Structure 1
Amino acid sequence: MIINKKKFNVNGINYTIRSAMVNDSKELSEIRLQIDGETENLDREKGEAYLDPLDFERIIKTDIESKRNLFLVAEVNDRIVAFSRCEGNHLKRFAHKVEFGVGVLKDYWGLKIGSNLLKESISWADSNGFKKITLNVLETNDKAINLYKKFGFNIEGILQNDKILSDGQFYNTVTMGRIYDKGFKND
């Protein structure tokens, strides 16, 4: 699905959030690889589950045509610096919900890009009749957990010893969900 683009200014930095388009495929492939190497908060290490530009092209085409999916990008000076994706399920028992994921280049942390991608995704989900948004987050990512709570997400479960990070230690994954009828308070 495609949404209208929105402009933001945070700390003197202008950026735009818009729907991903097919011509973004090469750049998305590159920044996903970079983001995976900048943090251990995501599921992949750099280079794992690599998506080449053709993979992104297929995903974007599917998402544009689907009423159940939303693929957004954030641009600074015509350069993609972040993306998010909501993916719905076609099974009737799960058709009421979407799963949210996000990635932001480290140089652009602190500009509320992730927050605004989430806000736009929530608005889209609510206005399109979805009753629930789910996501997973690493237990040590307190900043993200607190952000999700601020937007009405609750902790629904803990996947124990779910990941092994570079220090060789096991970490838990926190499963969170936001149910539409609980509302969303915009600050």
Structure 2
Amino acid sequence: MIIKQQKFNINGLDYTIRSAIHVDAEQLSKVRVKIDGETENMDREAGEGFIDVHGFEQIIQTDSESPTNLFLVAEVDGRIVGFSRCAGSNLKRLAHKVEFGICVLKDYWGYGIGKNLLKETIIWADSNSIKKISLAVLETNEKAIQLYEKLGFEIEGVLKRDKLLSDGNYYSTIMMGRYHD
């Protein structure tokens, strides 16, 4: 689905949040690899699960046409610095919910980009009969967990010893959900 773009100025940074479009595919392919290498909060390491330009073009087209998918980008001076995605299901028993994922380049943390991507997603979901947004977050990502709780998400469960990080230790994944009646 496509949403109307929104402009923000947080801590002196001007940025726009808008729906992803076809020409974003090349930047998205590169940005995703970079973000994966900047933090262990993601499921992948840099280069794993690589999506090329054609792959992103297909995702953007599918998400633009689907009423239960939403692909947003955060843009600063024509450069994509973060993105989020909701993916729903066509199955009748699952059609009321979407799965949410988000990532922002480390240089752009602290400007409310993640928060505003999520807020725009919540507005979209609430106005499009989406009853539940689900997400998964690494237990060590305390700032994200606090943000999710502040925006109405609840912890639904814990996947114990779910991820092996570079320090050789296993960490849990927190499953969270937000409901809208």
1: CA distance, partners of 2:168 / 2:47: 19
- Deviation, structure 1 residue 90: 1.1
Runs of 4 or more consecutive aligned structure 1 residues displaced over 6 Å after TM superposition? none
Structure 2 equivalent of residue 97 of structure 1:
97
Secondary structure of the residue that 1:93 maps to in structure 2? Answer: coil
1:134-168: CA deviation from partner (whole Å, max 9, x where unpaired): 00000011000000000000000000111100011
Structure 2 equivalent of residue 131 of structure 1:
131
1: CA distance, partners of 2:62 / 2:95: 17
Structure 1 equivalent of residue 73 of structure 2:
73
Structure 1 equivalent of residue 140 of structure 2:
140
1:34-88: CA deviation from partner (whole Å, max 9, x where unpaired): 0000000010011100000100000000001111100000001110000000100
Secondary structure of the residue that 1:15 maps to in structure 2? Answer: strand
Structure 1 equivalent of residue 51 of structure 2:
51
Secondary structure of the residue that 2:110 maps to in structure 1? Answer: coil
2: CA distance, partners of 1:154 / 1:68: 21
2: CA distance, partners of 1:77 / 1:114: 17
2: CA distance, partners of 1:103 / 1:52: 17
1: CA distance, partners of 2:114 / 2:137: 13
Amino acid of the structure 2 residue aligned with 1:145: I
Secondary structure of the residue that 1:125 maps to in structure 2? Answer: helix
1:86-138: CA deviation from partner (whole Å, max 9, x where unpaired): 10011111110001100000000000000000000000001000100000000
1: CA distance, partners of 2:52 / 2:91: 28
Structure 2 equivalent of residue 184 of structure 1:
none
Amino acid of the structure 2 residue aligned with 1:140: T
Secondary structure of the residue that 2:46 maps to in structure 1? Answer: coil
Structure 2 equivalent of residue 33 of structure 1:
33
Amino acid of the structure 2 residue aligned with 1:108: Y
Structure 2 equivalent of residue 86 of structure 1:
86
1: CA distance, partners of 2:54 / 2:165: 29
2: CA distance, partners of 1:28 / 1:73: 9
1: CA distance, partners of 2:171 / 2:91: 31
Unpaired runs of at least 5, structure 1: 182-187
> RMSD value over aligned CA atoms?
0.5
1: CA distance, partners of 2:77 / 2:23: 16
